[in-house]
Amino acid sequence: MVGSNARRSRWLALYLPLTFFMVFLLFPFYWMLVVSLKPNTELLDTSVNPFLLASITLDHYSYLFTDTDFVRYTINTFVVTVGSTILSLSVSILIGYALGRFRFKGGSFMGALIFLCYLVPPTLLFIPLSQVVSNLGLYNSYWALILTYPTFLIPFASWLLMGYFRTIARDLEDAAKVDGASRLQAMWHIVLPLAMPGMLSAGIFCFTLGWNEFLYALVFMGSGEMKTVPVGVVTDLIRADVYFWGSLMAAGILGSVPVAVAYSFFVDNYISGMTAGATKG
């Protein structure tokens, strides 16, 4: 009796809702995958079950590589994402360190200011920023995005790293300083290595935020072959005829892979990192 009761509550509390979430949250990806592998003849044939594959084709994927600029878009996205991540991470480590470990006048004010910057959405800034980008002669170049992505990457990464640096005991650094190490040496040799997981998460988040960005990429780097993957897929691959769905979904699958891989390895870091130090205990 007890056993069947426990089993029933296990079903209600775990398996049933888990199934619901799996179906609801993953169905669009399943659909993308199925369509991307489905021959065009099957796509419009209503007599076959649309959720299953009768036969598999890689035509849509090969079409992407041979007949579109998809490869170029991928390269663009990598350049921009890696560039802005490196830039943002380096300055954010400094900001996070200063705000997390130094006591100075104006410190908590600057912390609040950085946090407010994080709340400024690209939709609020993109109009004047497009003018700044074009006045600087950066329009449609990699620098247009490498320099503007940090506006949302720096606040995020700094905030996250500030929380991380705070969790590292001050005693360690003090001990090093007593041993004759300067403050900078202590930072470099003691604190930074300990903050490695935090820096890793911050880097991954920057990478995915950069990879996923859409509006700035659309407005500042959205013409010709300089598009990023999300922009290129949306603006180039949607065509007037009905047979573009296969390659569109294939592009969606391929465009999601880099971030999905980055996260799946670091999902635990993500969970702890996102809220590190940000909330009142």
Q: How far apart are CA 144 and CA 37, in angstroms?
A: 36
Output 1 or 184, the one with its CB closest to another protein.
184
* Binding region for another protein (CB under 8 A) out of 55-63, 66-74, 128-136, 189-197: 128-136
Among 35, 64, 80, 190, binds another protein (CB under 8 A): 35
DSSP conformation letters of 46-84: TTS-TTS-SS---HHHHHHHHHSSHHHHHHHHHHHHHHH
Asked whether 32 and 249 are in contact (CB, 8 A), the reply is: yes
Q: Does 259 bind another protein (CB under 8 A)?
A: yes
Among 37, 64, 80, 147, binds another protein (CB under 8 A): 147
Q: How far apart are CA 43 and CA 1, in angstroms?
A: 50
What one-letter code names the amino acid at 55? S
* Binding region for another protein (CB under 8 A) out of 53-61, 65-73, 194-202, 255-263: 255-263
Q: How far apart are CA 202 and CA 274, in angstroms?
A: 9
Q: Does 53 bind another protein (CB under 8 A)?
A: no
Q: Does 26 bind another protein (CB under 8 A)?
A: yes
* Binding region for another protein (CB under 8 A) out of 54-62, 68-76, 193-201, 268-276: 268-276
Q: Does 79 bind another protein (CB under 8 A)?
A: no
Q: For residue 209, which of 80, 57, 67 has the smallest C-alpha distance? A: 80
Residues 158-177 within binding reach of another protein (CB under 8 A): 158, 166
